[in-house]
Amino acid sequence: MIFKNLLFVSLFGLLASCSTERNFKRDLEKTLLENPDVLMNVIEKNPEKFVSALQNAVQASQQNAAKMREIEEQKKLQEAFDNPLTPNITKEDVIVGPKDAPITLVEFSDFECPFCKRGYQTVQELQKKYKGKIRFIYKHLPLSFHRQAMISSQYYEAIRLQGDELATKFHDLVFENQSSLSSGGTKFLDKMAKDAGANLTKLKKDLETEVVKNKIQDDMLEASKFGMQGTPGFLINGVPVKGAYPASHFVQIVEELKKRDKLKL
C-alpha cells in the first residue's frame, strides 16, 4: 500500500513538474520494470478494461501501420511514374501483340505459382481491353520452393526455339491446366508441349542447353535488379506492380499515364 501511494505521488509529481515527456516515460518504465507486480495487480482488478484497451491499441497500431504503408506505396508509385524502369527486351523474348504497341506489359512469373495463374487471367483481360494497343512479354522468375517451376521455364524456352507461337500456346495451356502441374511433372509438361504442337524430340535435346538456361538466368537477374522477389511481378510501361492485382489496378495506371501525357492511345 505504501509503495502504491508512493507510486501515485511520484507519477503526480512527474506530471505536475516541468520534466519532459521523455523523462516521464523513462521513469515510469523504470518503476514498472522494478515492480511489475503493480501493473499485474491493476490488470487483475480490471481485466475487461485491460483487454479492451489492448484491443484498441492493437487496432490503432494496425491502422497506423496500414496508413504508413499506403503513404509509402504512393511515394513509390509517384517515383515510378517519374522514373519508370526499363526492361531489357531482346530478340529472345516472345512478344505477344504489336511490336510497336503503346502499352508494354512485362511479367516476371512462375508457372507453378497459384498467384501467377491470377496474373495470367489479368493479362488476358488487359489484352482484350487494349486489343491492338498492348504488347505482352513473359519473363521467368521460377521460385526455388516450387519443384516444377524451373523445369517448366526450361520447357517454355526450349519450345520457343521452335517458334514464338508454340511457346505462347504452351504458356497458355500450362496456366489453364496448372492444377495438374505439381503432380504431373514432366509427363504433364510433355503433354502440354505436344498439345501446343512442339516437336518433343527436339525439345528434349534443347532442355539443358546453355541458350535455354542463360535466358532464364538473365530474366531472374533482371527481376532481382527491379526488386521483384515474389511472383507475379509486372512492369506496365516501366511502372512496377508487385503482386496479383486485378486488371482494374493496371487500368488505373494506364489512365494516370495518359493524364501525365506519358501515354497516348
Q: Which domains does the chain have, with CATH numbers?
A: 2-82 (no CATH), 95-259 (3.40.30.10)
Q: How confident is the model at residue 46 (pLDDT cuts 50, 70, 90)?
A: confident
Q: How confident is the model at residue 5 (pLDDT cuts 50, 70, 90)?
A: very low
Q: Assess contact for 152 and 192: CB atoms under 8 A.
A: no
The single-letter code of the amino acid at 76 is K
Residue 57 has pLDDT above 90, yes or no: no
Q: Assess contact for 135 and 99: CB atoms under 8 A.
A: yes
Q: Are strands 103-109 and 134-140 parallel, antiparallel or unpaired?
A: parallel
Residue 88 has pLDDT above 60, yes or no: yes
Residue 68 has pLDDT above 90, yes or no: no
- Report whether the peptide linkage leading into residue 232 is cis, meaning its omega lies within 30 degrees of zero: yes
Higher pLDDT, 65 or 96: 96
Query: 241 forms bridges with which residues in the sheet?
Result: 234
Q: Assess contact for 13 and 28: CB atoms under 8 A.
A: no
Give pLDDT, residue 11: 42
Give pLDDT, residue 170: 98
Q: Assess contact for 135 and 142: CB atoms under 8 A.
A: no
Q: How confident is the model at residue 67 (pLDDT cuts 50, 70, 90)?
A: confident
Candidate from 47-61, 113-127, 248-262 with smallest mean pLDDT: 47-61
Residue 14 has pLDDT above 70, yes or no: no
Query: pLDDT tens digits for 151-190?
Result: 999 999 999 999 999 999 999 999 999 999 999 999 999 9
Candidate from 13-27, 107-121, 223-237 with smallest mean pLDDT: 13-27
Residue 74 has pLDDT above 50, yes or no: yes
Give pLDDT, residue 3: 37
Closest to 235 measured CA to CA, from 123, 86, 98 = 86
Four-residue CA torsion sign, 213, 219, 221, 224? negative
Give pLDDT, residue 22: 63
